[in-house]
Amino acid sequence: MLLSLAGAAFLAAGFVAEAHEISGVRGDCSPDCGLAMEIGAYLKNGDANASGAISFADSHLSEVHRGVKGPAHDGSLAQEIVDYLHGTAAASKAKLAPNEGVKLAAAAVPAAQSQDQREYVGQPRCVACHAQEGQNWAHTIHAKVFGLNPRNALESAGCEACHGPGSVHVQNPAQPLSIIRFSKRSQIPIAQQNAQCLNCHRGGQRIFWPNSVHESRDLACSDCHNPMANFSARGLQARASINETCFQCHKTQRAQFTRRSHMPLLEGKITCADCHNPHGSTTEPLLKADSVNDVCFTCHAEKRGPFLFEHAPVRDNCLNCHSPHGSNNEKLLVTARPILCQSCHAQNGHPAELLTRGYLANGPLPDVRLINRSCSNCHAQIHGSNSPSGSRFER
């Protein structure tokens, strides 16, 4: 089904994609690099059968063999590309049958076990085929660190630092497990994909990543990040910003932030990561601190107190009264006052009287308990009072 929907224009490209969902880097190009770029151009232009690309590669190879190309062109890369392009169709057709992925993954275990024998081929070999990926990646922070100041041998490996040694992939690009891919079609288990990232990014903010809410739902690092290009101003997010990245899945929260009462998240002034640590924490909602209130106090330090007189549900959990992602009511309240307050208060006096529309400002008996800010008209210091006369939060 996927193939039919993909369309003929990118049939060949789709096969190649199946085998080549890996990245490239920008670096010193091999003399055959131009070949790869030209092939890319053919494919981009929609050569349905990649015939132009194959023809061009064949021609290039022929020129190498005839000595038309200089001595720097050894022809091996061109040969690989030609072999690859000629062989891709058969390999991919076999591989793309529905639900074949899992079986292939199981069958491919021996290939994975042979990883120890794999060798690094170097970034130039990667970009020879993956020129566009290389161009995109060159602007990323990874490329700059790996290229300008690698801290260890792994970082020096460039593309292969994340994708693993590429020798098997060069020999057989269509082999699903020839290299570590990060995509929906990847046969590599999510844990193994993530392990590639955690090679460098383990611990620290991610110390509680294992079996966190996101990890236990099989989220991949590359669901939220795409290190292959700059989609976001910072953080190599998969979308244009942290918020848009989170909204990929958390659409309820996106809708909540459009409500009448909301924090300035859609206005670009805060992000989901100001309150949550998506990489894992000791709290179920992935809070960035040990409790809800500790998170809220990060920006609302004036409500931290402690106060002389405390309001029990306030100290217990801000969410007893507030809906942080947005609300139809003022001040992010979970429901309208006075109903909110009257859900708990029935003391003798005035709290438990039913306030009706007749008490509205335009009603026959306007009542200060209902109109404007309702109960908070008088109980203004509801988050806690430091006044010796503030036990009822009026002062």
Partner 1 sequence: MKGKRCRRTLFFRALLASTSALLILPLNARADSAVGAETATGNAFNPTGQIFSLQPDPLGLSALYENSRSPTGLLYLRPLSLPEMVQSSSDPDWWSSAWAEAGYLGNAGRMGASGSLQYSDLKTGFLLSSAGFLAENRKTAFYVSGEAQEVARDDQSYRLTFGKYGLYGATLFYDSIPHVFTTQATVLWNGIGTGRLTLPSELTPGASTTPQVQAALSTIMPTVLSLKREKAGLTATYTPTDDSEVFLRVTNEWRDGTRPIGGTFGYPGMAGETEIVEPIHYRTLDLAAGARFKGEELQWNLTYAGSFFRNDVPALVWDNPGLTLNLPPGSFVPTQGRMALPPDNEYHALKGDLAWAFTDGRFAANASYSKMLQDASLIAPTIDSGIIHGVSTAIDLNNWNTVAALSQRTANAEINTFNAFAQLQFNPTSDLLVDFEVRDRNQDNRTNYVAFNPLTGQYGYIAIDGGLAPFIPRLSGIYEPAVPGSRVQIRNIPFSTDTLDLTAKASYRLDNRDRIELTYTDKLVHRTDREVPNAQDNRVTLQYASRAHEWGTFRLSYQFAILDGDDYNSFPYGAFNSTSLPGYVPRFAAGDAPFTLGPLRKYDVANRTEHVGKAQTNFMLSDKVDFQLTGDFKLDDYDADYGLKRADTYDLNAELNYQISRTTTANVYYSFQSHSRDMANINPRGPQSPSDAAGSPTYPLANAWGGAADDRNHVIGAGVNHRIGDVTIDLNYTYTHSTSALSYFYASTGAFFNALTPAQAGTAFPDSTFDHHLLETSVLWKYTEKLGIRAYYRLEYAHIDDFHYAGLTNLVANNLFLGAIPENYTAHVFGLFFQYSY
**Nearer CB in complex with partner 1: 76/328:** 328
Per CB under 8 A, which region of 60-68, 75-83, 160-168, 276-284 contacts partner 1?
276-284
**Nearer CB in complex with partner 1: 70/340:** 340
Helix, strand, or coil (residue 237):
strand
- CA–CA dist 346, 196 (Å, integer): 58
Q: Does 238 bind partner 1 (CB under 8 A)?
A: yes
Q: Does 322 bind partner 1 (CB under 8 A)?
A: no
Q: Write out 191-222 in H/E/C secondary structure.
A: HHHHHHHHHHHCCHHHCCCCCCHHHHCCCCHH
Angle of CA points 224, 225, 231, to nearest 5°? 110
Per CB under 8 A, which region of 55-63, 112-120, 164-172, 333-341 contacts partner 1?
333-341
Provide, rounded to whole angstroms, the least separation between the CB of residue 112 and partner 1. Answer: 11
Angle between helices 51-65 and 33-44 (to 10 degrees): 160
Footprint of partner 1 on residues 130-159 (CB under 8 A)? 130-133, 136, 139, 141, 144-145, 148-152, 155
Contact indicator for 307, 395 with CB cutoff of 8 Å: no
Per CB under 8 A, which region of 65-73, 118-126, 156-164, 272-280 contacts partner 1?
272-280
Helix, strand, or coil (residue 247):
helix
With CB under 8 A as the contact rule, the residue among 8, 90, 94, 299 that binds partner 1 is 299
Q: Does 302 bind partner 1 (CB under 8 A)?
A: yes
With CB under 8 A as the contact rule, the residue among 226, 292, 318, 324 that binds partner 1 is 226
Contact indicator for 303, 309 with CB cutoff of 8 Å: no
* Residue 160 tokens, joined: 């292969």
Per CB under 8 A, which region of 56-64, 72-80, 157-165, 341-349 contacts partner 1?
341-349
- CA–CA dist 226, 245 (Å, integer): 11
Per CB under 8 A, which region of 73-81, 120-128, 159-167, 349-357 contacts partner 1?
349-357
- CA–CA dist 230, 141 (Å, integer): 9
Closest CA to 19 of 173, 169, 131: 173
Provide, rounded to whole angstroms, the least separation between the CB of residue 93 and partner 1. Answer: 15
Closest CA to 22 of 139, 142, 163: 163
Q: Where are the beta strands (DSSP E) in the chain?
A: none
Q: Does 312 bind partner 1 (CB under 8 A)?
A: yes
The amino acid at 111: A
With CB under 8 A as the contact rule, the residue among 29, 41, 111, 112 that binds partner 1 is 41
Size of the site for partner 1 (CB under 8 A): 185
Q: Does 259 bind partner 1 (CB under 8 A)?
A: yes
Helix, strand, or coil (residue 87):
helix
Per CB under 8 A, which region of 65-73, 118-126, 158-166, 342-350 contacts partner 1?
342-350
Contact indicator for 42, 52 with CB cutoff of 8 Å: yes
Q: Does 390 bind partner 1 (CB under 8 A)?
A: yes
Contact indicator for 262, 256 with CB cutoff of 8 Å: yes
Per CB under 8 A, which region of 41-49, 66-74, 120-128, 161-169 contacts partner 1?
41-49
**Nearer CB in complex with partner 1: 71/80:** 80
Provide, rounded to whole angstroms, the least separation between the CB of residue 29 and partner 1. Answer: 14
In angstroms, what CA-CA distances link 278 with 48, 82, 207, 230? Answer: 42, 44, 12, 20
Footprint of partner 1 on residues 84-123 (CB under 8 A)? 98-99, 101-102, 105-106
User: x/- string (CB under 8 A) for partner 1, residues 179-218?
Assistant: ---xxxxxx-xx--x------x-xxxx-xx-xx----xxx
**Nearer CB in complex with partner 1: 78/228:** 228
Provide, rounded to whole angstroms, the least separation between the CB of residue 67 and partner 1. Answer: 29
φ and ψ of 253, to 5 deg: -65, -35
* Residue 242 tokens, joined: 């942290």
Q: Does 386 bind partner 1 (CB under 8 A)?
A: yes
Closest CA to 30 of 72, 69, 68: 72
* Residue 60 tokens, joined: 């290039």
Q: Does 301 bind partner 1 (CB under 8 A)?
A: yes
Q: Does 256 bind partner 1 (CB under 8 A)?
A: yes
